[in-house]
Amino acid sequence: MQDFSSASNDQLPFFFQQLEELFLFDLDQAYVASCALLARCKQIEPSPLHLTKMHLLHSKMLWGKGQYHAALYAITQTLKIIQSHSLFELKAEAYLWRGQCNLNLKRHVIAVEDFTYAVELALEYSQISIAIESYVNISQIYYFAEQYDASKEILIIGYRLAVLLNDHKQITKSGIFLSNYLIESGDHASALYILNQIESSSLQYGDMTWVVEAGINIATAYAGINESELAEVYFESMLAISNFNHALWAKSLTLLKYGEFLIQQNRFEEAIDCLEVSVEGISQFDYGNVRQKSAKLLLCAYKHIGDFESALFEIKKYKQFSESLLSDHLLHGLKGNALNLSRLDRSRKKIITTRKNFEHMLDLISPGESRVRYQQFKLKCSSASNSVEVIHVQLLGLLYVTGLYLQKMNALLREFCLAESTWTKLPNFAYLIIPDQAYINSALALHQLEKVINGFPWRWHGLNPPEVKIQLIPLQSAMELLLPLEEGGQKNELLI
């Protein structure tokens, strides 16, 4: 490892980069190196810019070690330096990490304000990666507030923007969060699809804790579709990676989820071994809901092997954690505090504005996809048999069509056409879809699509629900509808 205690002012940018990379692979070594470099910075009096970056990095290390109060204090000091030296380009990142610390300290309303402000600053300085990460973090607060649809919507927008920008870090983070949501909803197949999509990005970015979290979710999803052998292979692999990288949180989470899986397999003694080892790390990071789940699983395992004394002990712990969670719960705090409620309302208005900004960005980026989709659709038409029926979708009854309508419809079709379905857009808010062969017949796909469009919460986004007309048409008719798009490829791109 580099000697961080002997760095010179000129070498600081290099050592900062080394710290960032070390943080991804070995948190313990990164923390020790960060302490050494921070002490060195106090000796050599670096520039305000370098000193600010040092404090930001060290707060990140403290957060990674679960020292949330210390990390928050470091961020507060960092913000003072930023303000006094007008280093405003670093302000968004500082508020992102302050929000993360406040979130872990269960200060949910303050965390929302921090994340929202971080998004505003990041967009102002074109720091899109920070903006996406802050925005995706807001989804957690919505989830804690039991606003599940809003949480999912934020995750989808953040994930799509990250994919369009090819930002491996944010593809990984938003993809993990989205797969968590899908697994919790019981949609294991969709979770696996997302996790397969982010696999290469998670490896390219290289944060081994996130690699492990993605692997845990893959294992859990496989267990959910009764692929037990594959699930166990992933659990064992993630445990090995966590141990190799000294990633205590990743190891604890792996053991917790592995223990849950073993209970489902009626392997109670093995489950207890996993769960008891996980307790140390879980306690250090103080996630109340995780500690509650750990106690609940141990209670279940002990009860099944007849160890009622240990089961009684876990009941007491479960009750204690449940009471603690109730007192910290976001909704509980809001109901009893009018000030917090008004603060959340102000943040909610900013979040809505932020969502519109992101949707506008998606509208600017997405047009480039249209030509590819059009070419794919045309190619599939030319190779399909004449017996194939095509779904023709028309959305009627709208006086005018905004970019937001188009963005929402595109998002719905991306979800609907996850497998081999192919689609393209026509003028006047119409679409053509060749359904995936997994559907028994096109009529079944038509019915499913109609449910998806009609079930979408249009009014939640400030949009009037369109009148949907969906019908099956012959392949030849679909080809004829494509003909007007042949001229002017740029016109075609502007449609989406």
Break the chain into its structural domains and give their ranges: 1-86, 366-494
pLDDT of residue 256: 94
Q: If you average pLDDT over residues 360-374, what whole number do you get?
A: 60
- The residue with greater pLDDT, 384 or 300, is 300
> How confident is the model over 305-319, as a mean pLDDT?
84
- Do 423 and 433 meet the contact criterion of CB atoms below 8 Å apart? yes
Using an 8 Å Cβ cutoff, are 165 and 128 in contact?
A: yes
Burial of 476: CB neighbours in 10 Å, binned 0-12, 13-18, 19+: exposed
Question: How confident is residue 127, by pLDDT bands cut at 50, 70 and 90?
Answer: confident
Q: Report pLDDT for 339.
A: 44
**Cα separation values, 417 from 125, 356, 430, Å:** 35, 25, 16
Task: Tell me which residue of 438, 448, 444 sits closest to 468, measured CA to CA.
Answer: 448
Dist CA 193 CA 418 (whole Å): 8
Q: How far apart are the first and last CA of the chain?
A: 51
Q: Name the residue with higher pLDDT: 488 or 238.
A: 238
Looking at residue 336, its pLDDT comes to: 42
pLDDT level of residue 293 (50, 70, 90 thresholds) = confident
pLDDT of residue 225: 94
Region of 465 on the Ramachandran plot (φ > 0 left; ψ -120 to 50 alpha; else beta): beta
> In this model, does residue 353 exceed pLDDT 90?
no
Tokens 């053509």 — which residue?
Answer: 432
**Per residue in 192-205, pLDDT tens?**
888 887 887 888 88
**For the ranges 76-80, 82-86, 273-277, 464-468, which has the lowest average pLDDT?**
464-468
DSSP state, 366? T
Across all residues in the chain, what is the average pLDDT? 81
Identify the pLDDT of residue 326: 54
* pLDDT value at 368 more than 70: no
Instruction: For residues 101 and 118, give the distance between their C-alpha atoms in angstroms, rounded to a whole number.
Output: 14
Q: Predicted confidence band at 437 (pLDDT cuts at 50, 70, 90)?
A: low
Res. 278: pLDDT tops 80: yes
**With bands split at pLDDT 50, 70 and 90, how would you rate the model's confidence at 95?**
very high
Asked whether 481 and 426 are in contact (CB, 8 A), the reply is yes
Backbone angles phi, psi at 19, to 5 degrees: -65, -45
367 has pLDDT over 70 = no
Q: pTM of the predicted model, to two decimals?
A: 0.65
Instruction: Look at residue 279 in the predicted model and tell me its pLDDT.
Output: 86
What confidence category does residue 333 fall into, taking pLDDT thresholds of 50, 70 and 90? very low
Closest CA to 218 of 206, 205, 227: 227
Q: 98-102, 169-173, 185-189, 342-346: lowest mean pLDDT where?
A: 342-346
| Band (365; pLDDT cuts 50, 70, 90) | low
* Confidence band, pLDDT 50/70/90 cuts, at residue 71: very high
Percent of the chain with pLDDT over 90: 23
Give the mean model confidence (pLDDT) for residues 392-407.
Answer: 70
- Give the pLDDT confidence score for residue 324 in this predicted structure: 62
Residue 332 has pLDDT above 70, yes or no: no
Question: What torsion, rounded to 10 degrees, do the Cα atoms 326, 174, 178, 340 define?
Answer: 30
How far apart (Å, rounded) are the C-alpha atoms in residues 125 and 129?
11
Residue 261, pLDDT score: 95
Check whether domain 366-494 has CATH 3.60.21, yes or no: no
pLDDT tens per residue across span 371-383: 667 777 888 888 8
If one compares 234 and 208, the residue with the highest pLDDT of the two is: 234
Tell me the pLDDT tens digit for each residue of 13-36.
Answer: 888 888 888 887 777 888 999 999
